[in-house]
Amino acid sequence: MSDQTHDQAQVDAPAGPATLGEADYATIARVFGVSPSEIGDVEALTEGMTNTNFVFRVGDAAYVYRRPGAGTDALIDRHQEQRNYELVDSLQWADELRYFDGDSGVKISTYYAGARVSDPASETDLRQVMAVLSTIHQARIEPPHRFDIEERIGYYESLATEAGGINLPDYQQVRAEVDELLDFRRALAIPEFLSHIDYVFANLLHLPDGRIKVIDWEYAGAADPLIDIAMYAIYAYYARPQMDHALELYLGREPTRQETARLYLYVALAGFLWSLWTEYKEDLGDDFGTYGADMYRYMTEYYQVLRSEGYLTA
């Protein structure tokens, strides 16, 4: 997704126009038991597509303060996000929390000085983050909530329709194709475990000590684990050979035909989902450039791959 992500990685970036407000300072002061005057070195990180983040310092330690963006209360269940962090805490992959408000979505987490965002063009990085993803999925965590892509598609569609309408080319035809893919998905009956959903490279931090942190678990829920590879691929704007390679690295072997079909299925459905997400957010006044069109293209192209190459009968 280039530097466009549903949230923003904790990396140094030029300060934007956003700033912490009085209520934000009050929250930080209460959490750390300090006065607002003891909160220093506040800097806005690059604004994400869902939230705005700030780095600040209390004493010798630095932290990230996340403030949810406009419309996110309709998109994300913050109490579910809070449960996600509790579920993955023992795995030690997630960013460490100092504070989480399940009502407002305000989050304070550790800032990882010197961390860098994963590079999807790097073979070394790709191997590492696919190995991490495999480990997360192998834990077979079963959360009490699902990420149901069919339900999310219907919900985002209703939000976009109510907010200003959907202006995507050949929408009715493509929507019928989506229904066909959803029928195929239901027939697969794949076991579901906790999946990150927003496994974008910008949410994968390589720390100076060699560890990798997977941040921003706000969309996570029980799902077919291969959805995370599809999400990674479309966020990185991968072409087919690259996404096939990512799947092989994740599995540690050559994929079966059904596994390849599942990857392409979620590439298509996720592309459609995020195109609807973009329609809704842009109806609220945001501008994401060509992102929505790019995601929509993944739906139309990979539906044709699935249909023309017989994967829908795999």
Q: What is the pLDDT of residue 285?
A: 87
Give the class (CATH, top level) of 22-110: alpha beta
SS3 at position 53? strand
Residue whose entry in the numeric block shows the structure tokens 């009715």: 172
Spatial separation of the C-alpha atoms in residues 233 and 228, rounded to whole Å: 9
pTM of the entire predicted model: 0.88
pLDDT attached to residue 314: 58
User: CA–CA separation, 304 vs 268, rounded Å?
Assistant: 10
What is the CATH code for 116-313? 3.90.1200.10
| pLDDT computed for residue 91 by the predictor | 83
Q: Return d(Cα 29, Cα 56) in angstroms, integer.
A: 12
Q: What is the pLDDT along the chain (314 residues), one digit of tens a residue?
A: 333 333 333 333 333 446 888 999 999 999 999 999 999 999 988 655 567 889 999 999 999 999 886 556 667 888 999 999 999 988 889 999 999 998 888 999 999 999 999 999 999 999 999 999 999 999 999 999 999 999 999 999 999 999 999 999 999 999 999 999 999 999 998 999 999 999 999 999 999 999 999 998 999 999 999 999 999 999 999 999 999 999 999 999 999 999 999 999 999 999 999 999 999 989 888 889 999 999 999 999 999 999 999 999 85
> Residue type at 224?
D
Cβ(282)–Cβ(295) under 8 Å? no
Place of tokens 């697969």: 188
- Residue among 73, 74, 54 nearest 64 (CA): 54
Confirm if 224 and 147 have CB atoms less than 8 A apart: no
Q: Which parts of the chain are beta strand (E)?
A: 39-44, 51-58, 61-68, 97-100, 107-110, 116-117, 193-195, 204-206, 212-214, 221-223
What's the pLDDT score for residue 60?
93
Distance in angstroms (rounded) separating the CA atoms of residues 217 and 208: 22
Task: Show the tokens assigned to 258.
Answer: 């059904």
Domain ranges of the chain: 22-110, 116-313
Query: How close are the terminal C-alpha atoms of the chain, in Å?
Result: 29
Nearest residue to 292 via CA among 173, 160, 179, 204 = 160
Residue pLDDT, tens place only, 1-57: 333 333 333 333 333 446 888 999 999 999 999 999 999 999 988 655 567 889 999
Buried b / exposed e along 101-123 (16+ C-beta atoms within 10 A)? eeeebbbbbbbbeebebbebeee
